[in-house]
Structure 1
Amino acid sequence: MNGPEIHLEFAPDLALFVQRKLRRTLTTDGASSLGHVVESAGVPLTEAGSLWVDGREVPTSYVPVADDHIEVRAVERPQRVPGAPLRFLLDVHLGTLARRLRLLGVDTAYESTDIGDPALAALSAAEQRVMLSRDRGLLRRRELWAGAYVYSTRPEEQLRDVLDRFAPELRPWSRCTACNGLLKSATKEEVSDRLEGGTQRSYDVFAQCGECGRAYWKGAHHEQLEAIVREALRTRTG
């Protein structure tokens, strides 16, 4: 490639994508957009914040010229997603994160089977949901409504990162962790056909999903779930 030579500097938060080489000089073809150059360097545009050339901000469509000094900043937090209520879509590998977001009352769609990147991207666009994934190829698809890379493999760290990055409104205990439907209070009689004998004898307060009908009560795992909720609320107010 014999095009113009440009100089790139990436924010430290992007070190994962550029193999920790935060400064580099590249030769471009003289026609590709800066967005294409950034992605070619390994950074999904979902993770790139503002782009600056010699001290002025430019769009991803800007075509670099010789000796440009380009600064690729990280996404500002909290990140605002304009034009739609904040909703998420998670791929097949993020089931635990999906359930925890739903536990906190965050509108979270989740595909429990691998429907493929094109279908996920189309669903993100159709429902205007932020795609959360560790698949960099998926996050590069142009038809995505919006997207974000999930940096950690540990669910508790994933949750903290999503809450810090997007600051969604939290309404704990308001959504079904199985299907994302909204919960409503229910009597024991209304959910009796979904309860085992021991549960019927031991509990009196129930909720039920308006979509799938699943029943909820403060069972054996409630303390563990309560700890997740407390930590999320503490982090938000802290």
Structure 2
Amino acid sequence: MNGPEILIQFAPELGLFVPHERRGGPTAAATDGVSTLGHVVESLGVPLTEVGALVVDGAEVPVSHIPAADESVEVRAVTRPQPVPGAPLRFLLDVHLGTLARRLRLLGVDAAYESTDIGDPALAKRSAAEQRVLLSRDRGLLRRRELWAGAYVYSDAPDEQLRDILGRFAPALHPWTRCTACNGSLRAATKEDVAERLEGGTRGTYDVFAECGECERVYWRGAHHDRLEAIVAEAVAGASSNAGQAGSFSPSGD
């Protein structure tokens, strides 16, 4: 770009996306006199999914604003919790976030997940078609214009990922109500209902079951139930919106 020069300052939370020399105070940036401020911000490395407000000379402007010479621009981070207007809060996770998807489902959060790499265009198209917030660590994917909404997942550690997303979006939690395998709804089941799908040891040891209404996977309080209970307890304790627990079932194969 070789046009009007502006001064631009990024919020500290956005430092991950910008070169070291642009962190901290305002720095000069050249524009071409035609591109929008949103385009300029993305060209400097920050996905618009992570931008909460653009403030020019003290006044908030839309991403379509065309920068003029000597404007002072402040790029703020998204507010937390971040509102998602216009649709029920639902997520779509890319192929690299399987553990996060299972943990969101464990908490009763609607989390669709692609277990194979279907490509960026298809993910963006599904986000738009189903009005789902796309979660990804792929910055390029989050810049796609087809997206309905998106969010960068800042950590590669599942515990931190979950805390980040719950803190950012504050979804209503309904633990133990979704299938961690397919995202379907769970329903109570008797031992007789699921007997043919159980191993002999499980059939003789456990009496309380649930099953997925879509994929028919069976759930019970297995040996790893305490670990899952701890994940749920931490999430519920830290959530701004708590929901009553409908039973307590552990995935049989997780």
TM-score range, shorter chain: over 0.9
Residue 111 of structure 1 aligns to which amino acid in structure 2?
A: E
> 2:134 maps to what in 1?
131
Task: Select 1:44's aligned residue among 43, 47, 54.
Answer: 47
| Conservation of the 8 A alpha-carbon contact between 2:52 and 2:77 | yes
1:75-86 matched pairs, under 5 angstroms: 75-86=78-89
Instruction: Map 1:35-74 onto structure 2 (within 5 A).
Output: 35-74=38-77
CA positional deviation for 1:214: 0.3
Rounded Cα–Cα distance in structure 1 between residues aligned with 2:89 and 2:137? 20
Q: What percent of counterpart residues are identical?
A: 73
Q: Secondary structure at the match of 1:184?
A: strand
Shift of the alpha carbon at 1:237? 5.2
Query: 11-20 or 105-114: which moved more?
Result: 11-20
Q: Deviations over 1:152-198 (max 9, x none)?
A: 00000000000000000000000000000000000001111110000
Gaps of 5+ in 1: none
User: Cα distance, 1:95 vs. partner?
Assistant: 0.2
- 5 Å-filtered alignment, 1:81-100, equals 81-100=84-103
TM-score, structure 2 normalization = 0.92
Matched, 1:13 2:13: yes
| 1:88-132 deviations in Å (ceiling 9; x for gaps) | 000000000000000000000000000000000000000000000
Q: Is the 8 A contact 2:170 2:240 kept in 1?
A: no
Structure 2 residue matching 1:15: 3-state secondary structure:
helix
- Say which of 216, 232, 235 aligns to 2:235: 232
Instruction: Write the letter of the residue equivalent to 2:11.
Output: A
Deviation at 1:19, TM superposition (A): 2.7
**Partner residue, 2:211:** 208
- Code of the residue aligned with 2:189 in structure 1: it is A
Q: Find the counterpart in structure 1 of residue 250 from structure 2.
A: none
Per the alignment, residue 179 of structure 1 pairs with 182
Question: 3-state SS of the aligned residue for 2:178?
Answer: coil
CA-based RMSD: 1.0
TM-score, length-scaled by structure 1: 0.98
Structure 2: unaligned runs, 5 residues or longer:
242-254
CA positional deviation for 1:234 = 1.1
Matched residues in 2 for 1:215 and 1:108: separation?
19
Q: Distance in 2 between matches of 1:214 and 1:118?
A: 31
Distance in 1 between the 2:91 and 2:240 partners?
A: 22
8 Å CA contact 2:108–2:178 kept in 1: the answer is yes
Q: Which amino acid aligns with 2:81?
A: P
Counterpart in the other structure of 1:2 = 2
Partners of 1:237 and 1:188 in 2: CA distance: 36
User: For 2:124 and 2:195, how far apart are their aligned partners in 1?
Assistant: 40
CA separation in 2, counterparts of 1:237 and 1:85? Answer: 17
Report the equivalent of 1:141.
144
Output the amino acid matched with 1:9: Q
- Alpha-carbon distance, 1:235 to partner: 1.1
Asked whether 1:102 is paired with 2:105, we answer: yes
Does residue 157 of structure 2 align to residue 158 of structure 1? no
Q: Which runs of 4+ in 1 moved over 6 A?
A: none
